[in-house]
Amino acid sequence: SCSQAINGSLVETFEPYFDRLIIKYKPGRMRVRKYASLYNDIVVSEILSEPWRGDEFKGYDEICLSYPQLASIFRLEKRDWMTALQNQKAVYLITDKKTGQLYVGSATSKNKMLLSRWTSYVNNGHGGNAELRKLVKEKGFDYVKENFQYSLLENFNGKVDDDYIISREDRKS
């Protein structure tokens, strides 16, 4: 979103176009490029009539989200995703795609289900996890935003006992 520009400022005049502009360009080999080097390669292909609201929820077995995708669910307040995650208990996997490091966690009623659990990861990158807190302190929150992926190993409805969920998390760790 334009409101998250790193070296720019928000221009209120353009706010009605946020989440509506679709551009095309040929990406080079570099992951990060400055706008000045892209200016001549960018083509506005479409301006949506309504803001883009992200991909639809397709089922628990289909969840495999990058940090930006997960953050957009909350930023765009995707009702289908929010409803699906709010009453769900789960054992989930966070993957550091750069190093291959895996972090297994659980969402129970004690930590207010999967929606609340993943909201905390979006907000601070570590969700209170000691190992991830250390990683965020060492490498920064941007490292998480660029390299982390979130998926479910097992999902359970809200009636399943929390102790069972924790035991499943321990087996997966």
Q: What count of other Cβ atoms lies within 10 Å of the Cβ of residue 152?
A: 19
Which pair of structure tokens corresponds to residue 94?
Answer: 């966070």
Nearest to 89 by CA among 149, 170, 153: 153
Structure confidence at residue 4 (pLDDT): 40
The pLDDT confidence band at residue 91, using thresholds 50, 70 and 90, is very high
C-alpha gyration radius of the chain: 18
Which pair of structure tokens corresponds to residue 157?
Answer: 């409805």
- Who wins on pLDDT, 88 or 172? 88
Nearest to 150 by CA among 88, 71, 48, 39: 71
Enter the pTM of the model: 0.71
